[in-house]
Amino acid sequence: MSDALQRATGCSRSPFPDLSGATERALAGYADLLRAVLPMKAAHRRKLADNIQELSTFLVEDRAEVLGRDYLHAPAALGAYLWYFLPWNLLRMTRLLGGLNLDPPEGGTVVDLGAGPLTLVQALALARPDLLARELHFHCLDTTPRPMREGRKLYHGLVDILENGLVAGRGRWKIHLVHAPWQVGIKSVPQADLLTAGNFLNELPWNRRDPLSEQVAGFFQTVAGHVRPEGHCLFVEPGNRFGGKLVSLAREEAVAGGWKVLGPCTHHQACPMLEHRETSWCHFTLSTRGCPPWLRELSREADLPKRDISLSYVHLAGPGSPDRLLDRKAEQNPDRNASSEQMREGPLPQGWARIVSGEFSVPDRMREGREAMVGRYGCAAQGKLLILSPPGHSATRSGDCVRFRLDDPPKRDSKSRALVAELLPAMDGPKKKAASPTTRPGQSGQSATSSPPARGHREDRKPRTNPKATSNGHNRRPKRSQS
């Protein structure tokens, strides 16, 4: 893919780069850092796995009790969070941040809402050690002070490790802890060049009275008022239904306010995942590659092993961002970066889609041979797509950005109602050898055949407009879980 198109669409072939060797080594040594920062008595260590399991149950099943409470204040819960949830979040966020175009200016301000043990700050240091040489001011806001204090020690320990291997000279980041609810704390910090919130939105006490879309819109408007016009916002949530919905709703409000979506979307049209009766949600599933052996072992001990990690995110640039016009132009003429030969190829509509599922076989779409086609769901300006390729032709992963061509005339998959499209070869390199589809039905929250459980009919919307999200169905509060 050309650099221009990558910048214009926020597309990257693989938005979740693998960890560097140095980052993997830093995570391998993170257990020693945890032991140094939070020394544990033998009795506490013996109970660690149980405490992890208890906190997990608490966060997943007893959400009502968690919300609005300083649950990380208790030593057992804090230990469980630091040893299990923090390192898994570091792994997932480091993969994410490594693929984003983050470039806060020298002397810039980063505001992190619901910072906890400074997970996002630490992940940014791991993903972008080059930024450690830049003076950046991190204002970390949280209602519970102790995790932030421990997190600051962990951050400094991490920088020491990174400096040994990677960074020349001392890191120049300044960490400011703000012990306050976000609405209060945000008024006391400078306007952000980058505002982040990780695993935070799903912890806010959304009420059942008002439509969720309106509540998230209000949240975004408040937050946006504290970001510089050319600044960026990054929201990262667990890859579950509720996390995906919160992120999509924040995106809708941002677009309505003139913000640019840098990722994961390839377009600024309404989010297809918020369609009435759509049952899937926007999220990405990554392998656990790079997970340190000690974390794998502890997760097994706690009976909470992970085969993959998932997340939902949206990366936004403010209305004053210089990239904004470029992107709008790209959308008006999505083919402007295609070669003239490709533009001559014919009248079929082409475009770019973000892959939002694993691959699965599609048995009811036989071509010449007997082999099933390979399918995956994609998100594009035209809506949700079922993108097909012959077996063995191309391998895609959750999060990839691909070219597609809609069937002519346009057809919808009878069950998922997704528009059927053909996967086009990547422009930026040789085809990858396909692995056989391994996704099982239901994995990643997406159906894995072309005959998933019935989904709602989505109205054709062409051209699709960009209204604010409607309140349809969004005022219900789906079950939430912490990952």
Ligand X SMILES: C[S@@+](CC[C@H](N)C(=O)[O-])C[C@H]1O[C@@H](n2cnc3c(N)ncnc32)[C@H](O)[C@@H]1O
Site for ligand X in 312-371 (CB under 6 A): none
Shortest Cβ 158–ligand X spacing (Å): 14
Cα gap 16→98, rounded to integer Å: 7
Interface with ligand X (CB under 6 A), residue total 19
The closest residue (CB) to ligand X is: 116
CA 57 to chain centroid, in Å, comes to: 23
Shortest Cβ 265–ligand X spacing (Å): 22
- Our CB check for ligand X shows the closer of 71 and 377 to be 71
- Our CB check for ligand X shows the closer of 118 and 261 to be 118
- Our CB check for ligand X shows the closer of 288 and 481 to be 481
- Our CB check for ligand X shows the closer of 143 and 389 to be 143
Shortest Cβ 64–ligand X spacing (Å): 14
Site for ligand X in 48-67 (CB under 6 A): none
Could you tell me the CA-to-CA distances from 45 to 48, 55, 151 in Å, in that order?
A: 5, 15, 19
Cα gap 87→49, rounded to integer Å: 15
- Binding segment (CB under 6 A) for ligand X, from list 197-205, 258-266, 356-364, 422-430: 197-205
Shortest Cβ 187–ligand X spacing (Å): 13
- Our CB check for ligand X shows the closer of 267 and 315 to be 315
Site for ligand X in 163-182 (CB under 6 A): 181-182
Shortest Cβ 174–ligand X spacing (Å): 19
- Our CB check for ligand X shows the closer of 201 and 362 to be 201
- Our CB check for ligand X shows the closer of 48 and 72 to be 72
Site for ligand X in 79-108 (CB under 6 A): 86, 89
- Our CB check for ligand X shows the closer of 235 and 360 to be 235
Q: x/- string (CB under 6 A) for ligand X, residues 111-150?
A: ---xxx--xx--------------------xxxx--x---
Tokens of 192: 């952000």
- Binding segment (CB under 6 A) for ligand X, from list 199-207, 382-390, 447-455, 460-468: 199-207
Residues engaged in binding ligand X (CB under 6 A): 72, 86, 89, 114-116, 119-120, 141-144, 147, 181-182, 198-200, 203
